[in-house]
Chain A
């Protein structure tokens, strides 16, 4: 049997053994009691969740794990990472193996409901793209009729792929391989004409190729892929904490509060900033967090713009522009409800 099935079976078994009252509204209490956040992340996606050469986890998703730890404990190291495959991730969350899932996971109706999960605000607006070799001589996704397409199973990607080709009356032959290395290997060897996943993932994968110039990401994005943190049903307070950690990073960027200037901003007379940083207390207490939780996030991890620039921005190997992920004030979609 394979790892995934074992994972699913183990999760099923965990569901069977878990004491009936173990998580009813108690995820947050359990997190505080054990002293760290157990965070489910990617097994290795550059820019989002991957261990660096020293074994330290880095990436956008990972930084939000650290931001949650900073908010709850004032310590970015109070977090443990569980690398999960696309197939293991939901059962790991459902069974209580992890407290929060930050693994470039797309928010969909099915996942939000019948999987028993809740999606916190989007941390990255993505879309599905196609990568081909320049030798193929294709410049648009609409020219891909009859192509062989490499794709990972258990993802929205697999469904969007089928939808896109069906909607446009085109045919394709899928090659479905679970492991990222293997599916990319199959694409590079020429088994497939096309490799498809979220555009950010394509950029990340392409950046690891020895000759990225031989590969082309087609301009069309064929789906909406809002990626964000996921928690399981049953603890609304924990859900609130995760939500407002994300919002705090966005609000901080909007107010121009950065890792560098957060200490001097404590002197600010702007009431919005005072409420955010806790100099005017109340917000933290309402969430069950220390009043300076947002200060800790910004001081230890940074605001949304800093996290983006550090992990996937133009100066990183991924080289992604802000695009949809810019603040609403800059024409993007990043918007925080008011801190009051």
Chain B
């Protein structure tokens, strides 16, 4: 017995006495709460499955292999109604990713410009930027999407009277159609060469930084990089026969065929998301810049640096530390807000899974898939931004 091994002067504490210990109580309560949560989850899952089984509602993810039988308007990969629900799901994910990525890039650029404009010494520019921020931030996004969608579908002409701003480029209610090069090894080679050039430029920049840190000697990365980015694809393109055939959109029947189309739904969604989110990003950028004390830029100026260099070398690196964390939040917002696409008919993952849920009746699986997709995308963005934040954070020496 444990008690016999102890010294005679120290009897084993009773259960009640042990509860007097704060640490024991803390552990006990945590175990109880965790147990209650687990029991609730188990109850919900068990009960759901039991109810589904009793009402003879199909469960499981077997439906993903079955033909979807519905069409999707705007796809990045080949898809037809004969393909599976799984493939439709992939189309939806890609459409969501497309909107999120393009949206994040554009909204960052627009938000930064507006944020800096708010700090402009020019009265008119600063006022206009302020009006922009106050307007777009205070109108619900869904409403903005409806407005952009109606503006596009109401104000542009029918395909038969489409505007043609450039030869082969058409603008109508059905979207923006423009020519694309016809498939040819020359274009593929140029694309691969571009990829190689990007890697080479990054490697070059890292090498140049190290060399400058070590020896102080500078290397013209910008000009060399531009040369590589333009030169390599051009050489590859010429070497593989310099194809000139283009797939030009042409009006046949009701619609334009050929070329590439940017649909009104995608345009309206991007306009809405970018313009709305840029309002928030502008304020984040402005506050970040204002948070860097004036003394910093004055010191830079007194050293003889130009205004541009002061902004780039002194103000921005410090402002970024403040900007990055809230910026991450806005990126996540933009991604999640893209689910409003369903209201204006852009086939994002929510729209596709909504249809899937309806055709299969498997709501629980569908909702779980939607949650999984947004969780994965949001966590990926958060992880990347946290890495970047750590990268620009103050390194204490």
Write the residues of chain A forming the contact surface with B, with a CB cutoff of 8 angstroms.
1-2, 4-5, 8-9, 11-12, 15-18, 20, 23-24, 86-87, 90-91, 94, 110-111, 113-116, 136, 144-148, 153-155, 158-159, 161-163, 165-166, 172-179, 182-183, 185-186, 189-191, 193, 232-234
Contact = CB atoms under 8 A, between A and B. Distances in A.
A297 B20 CA distance: 72
Nearest to B370: A5
Contact of A234 (B45, B55, B345, B361): B55
Contacts of A2: 339-340, 342-343, 350, 354
Contact of B363 (A8, A113, A182, A185): A8
A153 B154 CA distance: 23
B44 interface: yes
A285 B132 CA distance: 71
Contacts of B73: 173-176
B351 interface: yes
26 contacts: A2-B340, A2-B342, A4-B342, A9-B367, A12-B367, A15-B52, A15-B364, A16-B51, A94-B55, A113-B56, A114-B361, A115-B361, A146-B252, A146-B255, A147-B253, A158-B355, A159-B69, A161-B71, A162-B71, A172-B71, A176-B351, A178-B342, A189-B153, A191-B173, A193-B254, A233-B55
B224 interface: no
A17 B363 contact: no
Given A2-B342, A16-B48, A158-B70, A116 B255 contact: no
B70 A111 contact: no
Given A5-B370, A12-B48, A116 B355 contact: no
A154 B355 contact: yes
A121 B152 CA distance: 45
Contacts of B254: 136, 144, 146-148, 193
B358 A153 contact: yes
Contacts of A9: 363, 367
A186 B354 contact: no
Given A5-B339, A5-B367, A147-B255, 4 more contacts: A4-B354, A116-B57, A173-B255, A174-B71
Interface residues on B, range: 35 or more
B359 interface: yes
Interface in B343-369: 343-345, 347, 350-351, 354-355, 357-361, 363-364, 366-367
A146 B257 contact: yes
Nearest to B156: A190
A2 B338 CA distance: 11
A232 B264 contact: no
Contacts of B265: 175
B81 A166 contact: yes
B55 A232 contact: yes
B354 A153 contact: yes
Interface string B42-60: 0011011011101111100
B355 to A, nearest CB: 4
B82 A166 contact: yes
B126 interface: no
A190 B173 contact: yes
B164 interface: no
Contact of A177 (B58, B82, B174, B344): B344
A149 B310 CA distance: 56
A32 to B, nearest CB: 21
B55 A116 contact: yes
A183 B370 CA distance: 24
Contact of A87 (B56, B146, B354, B370): B354
Contact of A146 (B153, B253, B350, B355): B253
A83 B370 CA distance: 25
A176 B363 contact: no
Contacts of A17: 44, 47
Contact of A8 (B81, B255, B357): B357
Contact of B57 (A115, A175, A182, A186): A115
B150 interface: yes
B321 interface: no
Nearest to A89: B358
A136 to B, nearest CB: 7
A287 B237 CA distance: 80
Contact of B345 (A1, A161, A165, A186): A186
B173 A189 contact: yes
Contact of B350 (A5, A86, A90, A110): A5
Given A16-B47, A94-B55, A182 B255 contact: no
B51 A87 contact: no
B98 interface: no
A153 B72 contact: no
A11 B350 CA distance: 17
Interface in B107-154: 146, 150, 153-154
B339 A1 contact: yes
A91 B58 CA distance: 13
A159 B70 contact: yes
Contacts of B69: 159, 162-163
Contacts of A185: 150
A183 B350 CA distance: 17
Nearest to B48: A16
A178 to B, nearest CB: 6
A219 B340 CA distance: 36
Given A12-B48, A166-B82, A91 B363 contact: yes
B257 A18 contact: no
Given A8-B366, A153-B351, A162-B71, A15 B361 contact: no
Contacts of A113: 56
Interface in B70-106: 70-73, 80-82
Contacts of A12: 48, 363-364, 367
B209 interface: no
Contacts of A145: 253
A185 B151 CA distance: 12
Nearest to A183: B345
Given A20-B51, A116-B57, A176 B345 contact: yes
